[in-house]
Amino acid sequence: MFAEAIASLLQDRCTPQAVRAIEQGGSPAALSAALEESGFHELLAPEDAGGGGASWPDFHRVIELCGAHALPLPLAQTMAARAVVRAQPLPNGWITFAPWLVREADGSLRAGQVPFGRTASHVVGMAGDVALLLPVADARMEANGVYGSLAASLRWEPDAGTALDVTLPAARLQGLAAAIHASLLSGAMKKVFDLAMGYANERAQFGKPIGKFQAIQHQLSVMAEHVAAAAIAAEAAYHTEDQGLPAYAACAVAKARTSEAAQLVASTAHAVHGAIGVTEEYDLQLYTRRLHEWRMADGSETYWHRALGALCVQRSDALFVDLAREVFA
């Protein structure tokens, strides 16, 4: 039900033309208003509190669709933030996560490469064990110089931000943020695969579609395996809960697997498309740029492989297969 509703809304409002305009500095007001009016900000809140009462698996399906449309707003992070911080009201607008918030020697706060830093109004981050809500308007923003990127590095004065009434170890926020990007990656990879399949069946060479050539078929089949494996890993993260949030180990597996697949899926899609894939007018580049950006967001596959290795080392009385059984139980 939730997936069908967001799919229809995104199909109408989050078009490639709208995404391109926002990437280039255009106002997201129209798209933002449509999403806010739909009530998706409170998707995870209980029904008796006026929310949607959605489960974490419902949440995953909604986020996948956001990824498939390259949504340029942090809808997933906003929904998750409102679910995590229920003890106090959060401001209207778009909230994103900065799990690796650093307090510098002079007391200022710095968050590097904050996903959706250019389109969010607030950031939730962990300064030690304290969760802070930080207005983007109060931050000094540093663009990363990447074409069309919506991420930005932010820096606040020492006294900036409001402490949130939530007990949330930094690792749990990292895991939740990573799981969100795993779902976004899964959705974007499905879209990229569909574009590659469609092009392979339409583009003719030597009198037949290029999809009839064995080399192209091999590339597409390998690509399909990675898209499917990544989708399974991303979905699995939301079927194991620990204290009300997706379990940390499952989040680590999800982000590691989806980030690993993102590189291959992006490069294969461009190989199938040839030069047309990188042109501004063709939509493929919208999604493959997202794959590269979201692969790094909240930790690449290298970071999460190491995190999983650390979990295995800590469990000296059990084998890795026991951890895997817990993750996918």
Which sequence spans correspond to the domains of the chain? 1-163, 170-328
Element (H, E) at 233: helix 214-236
Given this model, what pLDDT does residue 329 score?
67
pLDDT of residue 155: 97
Q: What's the predicted TM-score (pTM) here? A: 0.95
How many whole angstroms separate alpha carbon 273 and alpha carbon 34? Answer: 34
Query: Distance (Å, rounded) from C-alpha 129 to C-alpha 143?
Result: 28
Task: Give the SS3 label for residue 329.
Answer: coil
Mean pLDDT, the chain cut into blocks of 10 residues (329 residues total): 91 96 95 92 87 93 98 97 87 92 94 96 91 96 90 95 85 94 98 98 94 96 98 95 89 97 97 91 96 96 95 76 71
**Under DSSP, is residue 1 helix (H, G, I), strand (E, B) or coil?**
coil
Using the 8-state DSSP alphabet, how is residue 138 labeled? G
Q: Which residues contact 92 (CB under 8 A, 6 or more apart)?
A: 36
CA separation for the pair 12, 285 (Å, rounded): 20
Burial 276-297 (b: 16+ CB within 10 A, else e): ebeeeeebbbbbbbbbebbbbb
Instruction: Round to whole Å and give the CA distance between 110 and 136.
Output: 12
**H helices, E strands: number in the chain:** 11, 12
How high is the pLDDT of residue 221?
98
Helix axes 248-273, 320-327, angle to 10 degrees: 80
User: Which two tokens mark 319?
Assistant: 């084998």
Q: How far apart are CA 285 and CA 95, in angstroms?
A: 26
Question: What is the pLDDT at residue 318?
Answer: 66
Amino acid code (one letter) for 153: S
B/e letters for 24-61, b = 16+ CB within 10 Å, e = fewer, are eeeebeebbeebbeeebbbbbbeeeeebbebebebbbb
pLDDT value, residue 320? 72
- In 3-state terms the chain splits into helix, strand, coil percentages (rounded to 5) of 60, 15, 30
DSSP bridge partners of 133: 124, 162
Distance set, CA 106 to CA 103, 128, 156, 157 (Å)? 8, 16, 11, 9
CATH for 170-328, options being 2.102.10.10, 1.20.140.10, 1.10.40.30, 3.30.420.310: 1.20.140.10
